[in-house]
Amino acid sequence: MSELETLPVVDPIIDPSLEDPLLEDGDHERFAHYVKKDKLLPSAVEGTPLKALCGKKWVPSRDPGKFPVCPTCKEIYQQLRGKA
């Protein structure tokens, strides 16, 4: 099973760029993004931002099933899996 899952939203300890309080505006409201599964629960519980494969940073707050998958995340994911 893959360790990635779609979300409409990386650990600030691992990725210092997430410490910036000014999270990105934009397509997180329009797309579900791929993120590491092990980051989902801490984000949901603690409200910590996530970083998608495409580089998008945000705090998830919506049901990803209601959005199309981010085309950039999907392309990167397919390349990582060797399906480009």
For 43, residues 6+ apart whose C-beta sits below 8 A from its C-beta are: 9, 49, 50, 59, 60
Using the 8-state DSSP alphabet, how is residue 31 labeled?
Answer: -
The stretch 26-32 carries a mean pLDDT of 69
Q: In the chain, what are the domain boundaries? A: 4-80
Query: pLDDT tens across 30-80, in order?
Result: 889 999 989 988 888 898 899 999 999 888 888 888 889 999 999 999 999
pLDDT of residue 44: 84
Helix (H, G, I), strand (E, B), or coil: what is residue 37? Answer: helix
Joined together, the tokens standing for residue 32 give: 């579900």
pLDDT of residue 20: 47
pLDDT of residue 60: 84
